Chain A
Amino acid sequence: MATPGKPLIEVVNLEKDYPTGGGVFQALRGVSLSIAAGEFVAIMGASGSGKSTFMNLLGCLDRPTRGSYHLDGRDVSRLSSDQLAALRNREIGFVFQGFNLLPKLTALDNVALPLMYAGMGREARRRQAQATLDRVGLGERSHHTPLQLSGGQQQRVAIARALASRPRIIFADEPTGNLDSETSRQVMGFFSQLNREEGITLVLVTHEADIAAYARRRIRFQDGRVVEDVAQAEATA
């Protein structure tokens, strides 16, 4: 759990530049905010607003050009790429729009993958992966490959993979983008439950208002800046 009094995520004057043909594209132009442990945050914005860049920085996939990012009190911008990988492995779970499962692996092996990189033995990680699949209600399908599963089931496998190493934070990038509305509702309900019952911090990137409505805080990006940061009542699923 987070150190009391300190936010889990704290960014100050975060900036990210991308070199372009003619010069520099400023994807983020000084973002400062903090997210406490156990929050459920929706990040909204049009494409090009900087929300994906922000998400990549928070997810330790990238390092800021300027500004600071503290994750649980650690200055992430100073970590080596190996240390970032370890952080992603242990503290962070990702859920992507396109599921990003490895198509040749079974659901079980997909879920066990982060545990392999954590150095866990074969049997132990299979046990833990199976338990995680049980949690998302796919225990019966553990030996199916992604192509043998429906979109909703694939996304649940992806969620199980994100949960497998028991991370503190889950970043979900348009997690319902490829799902129909009914399945979307189920997935979002599951996210809400995870947040409510297990205290997992959830950061959700979406451009759909009804999906963002599941979160209890809404942050809106525009042109690389935060233009809105409001608390909202939890939607009733």
Chain B
Amino acid sequence: MIFTSLFETAWHALATHRMRSFLTMLGMVIGVAAVILMLAIGQGAQAMVRSAIESMGSNLFIIMSGATTTGGARVATGNAPSLTFDDADAIRDLKDLVAAAPVSPGSAQLIYGGVNWSTSVFGTTPDYAVVRDWPMAAGGFFSDADVRSGARVAVIGQVVARELFGDEDPIGKIIRIRQAPFEVIGVLAAKGQSLDGRDQDDAVMVPISSAQQKIFSSSLRNRARFIMAQAVSEKSMDAAEAAINDLLRSRHRIGVGQEDDFTVRNLTAIAETAASTTRIMSLLLGAIAAISLVVGGIGIMNIMLVSVTERTREIGIRMAIGARRRDVLWQFLIEALTLSLIGCGIGLLLGIGGAWLVASLAGLPVAVTPSSVLMAVGVSFLIGVFFGFYPARRAAGLDPIEALRSQ
């Protein structure tokens, strides 16, 4: 039998029971829309985490001044930072490490002309651009010589550049950071959000020496709140961590049994944890939505069974005039499939529309990927076949004489 005829027959049957067809489809519509939306939210979150991780730099350690409790929560230390610039240099010289940048963070108000902007200020060294894998959009990063001489030069992030300069070229301009004049020598490329949700482009980098002398007026020269260090490769991360621990314990003369006055954290491992957490979350969302899809499929089976019972006489007539059992089977199977696929189509539109709404109203990152669309279509098809088969087989198995006799 010709398949176009079957589709015509199915379409006709569905079109003559519009309301019922629509209600039957509704389960699929909601199921597919839920799957698409949940996957979009989950994948959006994953994409956000992934880009945050990529922007972080690879094979990264952060070595913080101060100890940790055993639970892992950092103890707020009011004391002076224990890490020194020399510690950073010594870490960089370890064989498993490529770069180490001491960082002295703070915040300050920037002024350029009549415009001001409060932002994060990082006093650091040129290694910072290396470990963070942070390219320049314009100009250059400051040099080791700038750090040694305490030069008043600054490298600004994209947000700072936009807020202070607008369309103006910032290179060579003098900005005031807490009243101290600094020359802008470079603009960093955009990095976007970090894992903890901060905008990494809203920052200014200055030589650590200049930061401590001119901006923070710190009495603690040569001390860093933390050091960021990069290992040679992912494989050398463990060796690097051990080496840093050994090095710092000996440099800080920490005896056996004494508590460290620093904390080494493997940022890459933390990032992976974050990534797997979001992955699990999005799987969970998808699984919950998939349940509603199955419920939609059961709805289709339910109505198809009712339909077969109601149309017993029609089936008998069709058989009497020459429909084979498989013709009847296909007729009902295609009806179920048509229902589930049309439901899927509407659900797709709703889901994509919903994802768009979530993105624009709630500001959540969403990503409707082709694979999730394909999956929804594929699953709807399977549901149509799976839940359509039983009613269709029941229709095909009817005895023509009995069927003709029914009212």
Chain A residues at the B interface, C-beta cutoff of 8 Å: 56, 59, 61-62, 81-82, 85-86, 88-90, 94, 96, 100-102, 104-105, 113-114, 116-119, 121-122, 161, 165
Contacts and interface: CB of A to CB of B under 8 A. Distances in A.
Interface string B308-321: 00000110111111
B261 interface: no
Interface in B1-54: 1-2, 4-5, 8-9, 12-13, 16
Nearest to B326: A82
A165 B320 CA distance: 13
B404 interface: yes
Contact of B325 (A82, A94, A165): A82
Contact of A122 (B4, B313, B316, B326): B4
B401 A62 contact: yes
A82 B1 CA distance: 12
Nearest to B327: A117
Nearest to B317: A100
Given A82-B326, A104-B12, A96 B321 contact: no
B8 to A, nearest CB: 8
B312 to A, nearest CB: 12
Contacts of B325: 81-82, 85
Given A96-B404, A102-B314, A86 B12 contact: no
Nearest to B6: A116
Nearest to B314: A102
A116 B404 contact: no
B321 A161 contact: yes
A106 to B, nearest CB: 10
Given A86-B322, A102-B317, A117-B322, A56 B401 contact: yes
B5 A116 contact: yes
B400 interface: yes
B98 interface: no
A161 B322 CA distance: 12
Given A100-B317, A102-B317, A104-B12, A88 B4 contact: no
Contact of A117 (B16, B324, B401): B324
A56 B403 CA distance: 13
8 contacts: A56-B401, A82-B326, A88-B320, A89-B323, A100-B316, A100-B317, A102-B317, A105-B12
Contacts of A85: 319, 322-325, 327
Given A100-B320, A117-B327, 13 more contacts: A61-B400, A62-B401, A82-B324, A85-B319, A85-B324, A85-B327, A86-B322, A86-B324, A100-B316, A105-B12, A113-B318, A116-B1, A117-B323
